[in-house]
Amino acid sequence: MKRKVLALLLAGAMACSVFAGCGGEKDSGNDSQKVQSDDAQKDETKDEEGQEPSGEETGDIVELNFYYSNSPVADQDRIMDKANEIIEKEIGVHLNLIPVDGAQYAEKMNLMINTGDDWDLCFTAHWMDFYNHTAKGAYADLTDLLPTLAPETYSRIPEGLWEGVKVDGKIVAVVNYQQWGAAQRKGFRVRSDIAEEVGFDWKQLEDKPTLEALEILGDFIGKALEAHPDMIGWETAQGGNLFKSDCLYWDMDAVGDTEVPGWIRLDDPKTVINQFETDEFMEFCKIMRDWYEKGYVRKDGATVTDTTPDRTAAKFVAELCYGWPDSIDFPGNADVAKMSMCTPENAPAVAVSTTRTIIPAGAGANAAVAVNANSKNIEKAVELIELLNTNDELYMLITQGEEGVDHVYDEEGNYSLVDGMYNFNYNEWQIGQSYSPTFTRALYNRNEAGEMAKESQGIVFEADKTADVSPLSGFVFNSEPVKTQIANCSAVIDEMLPSLCSGSIDPEENIPQFLERLESAGVNDIIAEKQAQIEAWMN
Amino acid sequence: MKKRNKAMRRKVPLKRQLPFYIMMAPGLLLIALLFYCPLPGILIAFKDFNPNDGILGSPWMDPWFKNFEFFFKSDTARIVTFNTIFYNILEMLLVTLGAVTLAILLNEVKGKVSSTIYKGAILLPTFLSWIVIQYILFALLSVDRGIINNSFGMDIAWYSDAGYWRFIMPLAYMWKNIGYYSVLYMAAIAGINTDYYEAAQLDGATKWQQIKKITLPLIKPTIIVLSLLWVGKLFNGGLGDWNAFFSLPNNSGALYRTTDVIDTYVYRSLRTLGDYGMSTAAGLYQSLMGLVLVFGANTVIKKVDPDSALF
């Protein structure tokens, strides 16, 4: 009897869950949509109290949900009300710009895409599952829509960049072309005041290979720390290191995601190599080990996840610098004249470029906006992209707030953001192009410094047209055949790479072990697969 | 004895049992919803799942075990399985031993105020989340600023040497859970009829003898039931206590050898991949291991004390 009841219960439970299982996602889709539009309706009625006559909320206005990564934005409703006034007038769209906290964004989008959730546009990037999601067919094909519905957006962006967001010849995302251009040239930044104090000639770093540059920096850091024992020589952290994502420092480029084994040398783009087998990796780890033992880096570098406190406290003597033109080519470039997250007052710095100038393979997908392939309003979404990219007033309103309220200019023409007011947390690059041929889509100081900033950006735009383009541009690695191996290799890499690159363990002893474990995790399959795909793509 | 019990049970009419069934209903419903409804999802482990086609619509994997390959091809499969079982058993033994001892000792504390203070102090860590404990531990063990290294003048890289964590993990686990379990055991001890002790005292039994001959035998069923409930807890996916293994090592890769359990390993390697098939496969394997463990424990107990076995 008891058993029967149990069996019945079980069977019932299973049956109901089967239905829930397959019908669920459509239902939930509708549900969330309903909730969304309910919300939106509430919003709208709220909006329209002081504006247009209400009663039109179900009219022709189309709701679009745009997800992007941002910390909570203060006063968002005020700005979005104003922005939607413009958008509704121009293209009849009501935009819900939905910020998701940076730490959760990738996961959240992953989940929304996997569950077929309701979204129309989203920010995407190659460092945020872009290839993964395109492989799943999550993003709409925009190849034909862009030239007709977003002609201005389409034509402003250098040809080469579109290659980066193409998959199988189809454009699946819109490049957010930025005020700082796409060409990369990386280098190092050192504290100028300390360099002067200990007599370090930072200009000697120019164009040096990374290993040599690090050796030179090591001497400088040693002297600097003698004079300032409470400082830290170099940043080490669990999440980032020169062998995780900075291929350019090694004159290499990644095939597919940067963290997966299998890079190429820019001079020999046809051969896929395991970047951890290179001499450079061994030498780099030895240098970091040396620095660790000398106390140049934090002892717990392998486990530090957040270096913001160290950065804002101006603790670092030297660091990587992604910005350019550097202090040699363009001495006035204010962007590189301070250490990361510091001010020119507490941490003045000089930058020097060491790598070549290149548009990396991923540059197109470095920051892009994609449209949901299942969205009911793909065309409206593309129109919205065009509007965000061409209506400077709208873009500036959303990204910088209102002049005189959220940002102000002082009598010298320097702008500053007003504390506690609307603040986009510098995430304007996620929702559209901040590039403008006439420099009207970002805040510039209205004085000489502002003009200089424009001039330095002009240099980059010029370079974008002439720089080397990565030999891998337009190639998309399909990781499906080796995803098992990738998952296993990632586990090994997560385990050992932070320790190796922060100097916490001895490279001579541990790198061979690391390589051995990678091998048993299937790294050779990944390399072979990448090699095969590249060869097929080149021919 | 057992037979008679069963016979007696049958005689109680359903009508009189009804209130009890009703009391049980919410719990049963919860179990049905949370544990039985998702069961068909196991199919995903054998499918090339994509959400647009749904569970039933997605194509089968070819070969059917392809989703399992990820886990079994890795060199870590054995390590994490061992770790899971090792910690599960070790912590069960340690916590039970510690909690019973504590409960007996606390029971002997007669002062009302002091007893309350002790109980409160022991119970407190139970209410801390593992994340908080992670930071307490970090404050203790940090290499350059840690309390332990600084007060003893040591320079041990706690977070880079996996060996220490075979001890640190169980210790931390005990510290958090011992209070909770000792409260349960104290309740069991409080239920013992004081006549036994009075009689024993009249016969001149020492405290130790009273504990050994009266307290322990009488709370044995409680110990067995609690231990049985414990078994498989670490295999209980997101509902188990895997959080400890995820947060305490502070994400230090060097410690994974001794701190990774199946859950944490799967979570870390598949979270970013977003592959439902492989995650489900690993989860299924984990559940099977849990099942084996529960059956194993039950068999052992059946041999030792048939009355206390679960089934």
pLDDT recorded at residue A55: 38
Cβ contact B272–A13 (<8 Å): no
Rounded to whole angstroms, how far apart are CA atoms B121 and A193? Answer: 53
Is residue A357 domain-shared with residue A220, that is, in the same domain?
A: yes
Q: Residue B157 is nearest to which of A114, A504, A522, comparing CB atoms?
A: A504
- Are both A517 and A491 inside the same structural domain? yes
Chain B residue numbers touching A488 (CB-CB < 8 A): 70, 73-74, 76, 269
Query: Which residues are CB-contacts of B295 (< 8 A; sequence separation ≥ 6)?
Result: none
The C-alpha atoms of residue B23 and residue B18 are separated, in whole angstroms, by 9
SS3 A280: helix
Nearest residue of chain B to residue A26 (CA atoms):
B52
A241 in contact with B at a CB cutoff of 8 Å?
no
Q: Which residue of A has its CA nearest to B271?
A: A107
The residue in chain A having the minimum alpha-carbon distance to the alpha carbon of residue B35 is A13
Q: Which residues of B touch A491 (CB under 8 A)?
A: 74, 76, 265, 268-269
Question: From CA A401, how far away is CA A83, in angstroms rounded?
Answer: 10
Q: What is the ipTM of this complex?
A: 0.71
A388 plus A484 within the same structural domain: no
The answer to whether residue A49 sits within a structural domain is no
C-alpha to C-alpha distance for B116 and A390, rounded to whole angstroms:
70
Written as six digits, the tokens of A254 are: 């990644």
Query: In 3-state terms, what secondary structure has residue A209?
Result: coil
Residues A348 and A400 in one domain: no
Q: What is the pLDDT of residue B240?
A: 58
Shortest Cα distance from B276 to chain A (angstroms)? 9
> Which residues in chain B are contacts of A497 at CB distance < 8 A?
253
Are B36 and A17 within 8 A, CB to CB? yes
Q: Any residues with CB less than 8 A from the CB of B83 and at least 6 apart, and which? A: B258, B259, B260, B261
Cβ of A114 and B54 within 8 Å?
no
Contact yes or no for B273 and A136 at CB 8 A: no
| Residue at A371 is within a domain | yes
- Indicate the average pLDDT of chain B: 84
Q: Do B155 and B141 touch, CB atoms closer than 8 A?
A: no
Domains of chain B, by residue range, sit at 67-308
Cα A513 from chain centroid (whole Å): 32
Distance CA A528, CA A534 (A): 10
Mean pLDDT of B55-69: 83
Answer with the residue of higher pLDDT: A445 or A527. A527
* A284 closest CA partner among A511, A515, A519: A511
pLDDT at B16 over 50: yes
Give residue A32's pLDDT: 39
Q: What is the CATH number of the domain that holds A153?
A: 3.40.190.10
Question: Cα dihedral sign for A314, A232, A499, A493?
Answer: positive
CA separation for the pair A140, A174 (Å, rounded): 11
- CB-count exposure of residue A82 (10 Å: 0-12, 13-18, 19+): middle
Q: For B223-246, what is the mean pLDDT?
A: 73
Give me A125's structure tokens.
């990037």
Do A354 and A261 belong to one domain? Answer: yes
**What is the pLDDT confidence band of residue A54, given thresholds at 50, 70 and 90?**
very low
Residues spanned by the domain of A298: 187-361+472-538
- Chain A residues lying within 8 Å of B157, measured CB to CB: 299, 504
Flag whether pLDDT at A494 surpasses 90.
no
Kindly report, residue by residue over A467-482, the tens digit of the pLDDT: 888 888 778 788 888 8
User: Per the structure, how many domains does chain A have?
Assistant: 2
pTM: 0.71
pLDDT at A56 over 80: no
- How far is A191 from A327, CA to CA, in rounded Å? 12
The shortest CB-CB distance from A303 to any of B40, B74, B159 is to B159
pLDDT at A28: 37
Closest residue in chain B to residue A295, using alpha carbons only = B144
Regarding whether A315 and A278 lie in a shared domain, the answer is: yes
Q: Is A533 on the interface with B (CB under 8 A)?
A: no
Residue B52's pLDDT band (cuts 50, 70, 90): low
Question: Of A183, A185, A181, A210, which is closest to residue A318 (Cα–Cα)?
Answer: A210
| pLDDT of res. B232 | 62
A170 and A236 both lie in a single domain: no
pLDDT(B67) > 80 = yes
Q: Is A240 in contact with A272 (CB distance < 8 Å)?
A: no
Domain-located, residue A340: yes
- Give bridge partners of residue A506 from the DSSP assignment: none
Cα(B238)–Cα(B38) distance, integer angstroms: 14
Establish if A5 touches chain B: CB-CB under 8 angstroms: no
Which is higher by pLDDT, B273 or A70? A70
Interchain pair A484, B70: CB under 8 A? yes
Asked whether residue B61 carries a pLDDT value surpassing 90, the answer given is no
Residue B28: list chain A partners with CB under 8 A.
9
Q: Is A104 on the interface with B (CB under 8 A)?
A: no
Residues A97 and A170 occupy one common structural domain? yes
Give the domain-ending residue among A470, A500, A515: A470
Architecture of domain B67-308: Orthogonal Bundle (1.10)
**Contact flag B269-A487 (C-beta cutoff 8 Å):** yes
Q: Looking at beta carbons, which residues of chain B come within 8 Å of A17?
A: 36-41
What is the tens place of the pLDDT at every residue in B139-198? 998 887 889 988 988 888 888 888 899 999 999 989 998 999 999 999 999 999 989 999
Instruction: Note whether residue A47 is domain-resident.
Output: no
What value does the mean pLDDT take over residues A255-283?
91
Out of A418, A436, A470, a domain closes at A470
Q: Is the pLDDT of residue A51 over 80?
A: no
User: Does residue A499 fall inside a structural domain?
Assistant: yes
Tokens 């293209």, residue?
Answer: A91
Q: Which of A447, A470, A493 is the last residue of a domain?
A: A470
Amino acid A173: pLDDT:
92
pLDDT band at residue A264, thresholds of 50, 70 and 90? very high
CB B277 within 8 A of CB B59: no
Do both A385 and A443 map to the same domain? yes
**How confident is the model at residue A36, as a pLDDT?**
41
Nearest-by-Cβ selection for A21 from B55, B69, B273:
B55
Confidence of residue B248 (pLDDT cuts 50, 70, 90): confident
CB–CB contact B75 A517 (8 Å): yes
Contact B61, B277 (CB under 8 A): yes
Q: Give the pLDDT band of residue A16 (cuts 50, 70, 90).
A: very low
- Yes or no: say if A483 and B273 are a contact pair by the CB < 8 Å rule: yes
Interface list for chain B against chain A, based on CB atoms closer than 8 Å? 28, 32-33, 36-41, 50-52, 54-57, 69-70, 73-76, 142-144, 157, 159-160, 250-254, 256, 265, 268-276, 278
- The string over B68-105, giving b where at least 16 C-beta atoms fall within 10 Å of a residue's C-beta and e elsewhere, is bbbbeebebbebbbebbbbbbeebbebbbebbbebbbe
Q: A230 and A168 share a domain?
A: no
Does any domain span residue A13?
no
Task: Tell me what pLDDT residue B6 has.
Answer: 52
pLDDT in tens, A296-348: 999 888 888 788 888 889 999 999 998 778 877 777 777 778 888 888 888 99
Is the CB of B54 less than 8 angstroms away from the CB of A22?
yes
For B156, the closest chain A residue by CA position comes to: A299
The distance of Cα A367 from the centroid of its chain, to the nearest Å, equals: 6
Contacts of B274 in chain A (CB under 8 A): 110, 114, 129, 132
Helices (H) and strands (E) in chain A, counts: 17, 17
**Cβ contact (<8 Å) for A484 and B39?**
no
pLDDT level of residue A37 (50, 70, 90 thresholds): very low
> What span, in angstroms and rounded, lies between the C-alpha atoms of B99 and B97?
6
Q: Which of residues 457-496 of A touch B (CB under 8 A)?
A: 483-488, 490-491, 494-496
Inform me whether the C-beta atom of residue A9 falls under 8 Å from chain B C-beta atoms. yes
Q: Of the segments A404-413, B82-91, B191-200, which one has the largest average pLDDT value?
A: B191-200
Contact (Cβ atoms closer than 8 angstroms) between residue B244 and residue B130: yes
- Give, for A350, the enclosing helix (H) or strand (E): strand A349-353
Residues A366 and A381 in one domain: yes
Q: What's the confidence (pLDDT) of residue B73?
A: 77
Residues A303 and A256 in one domain: yes
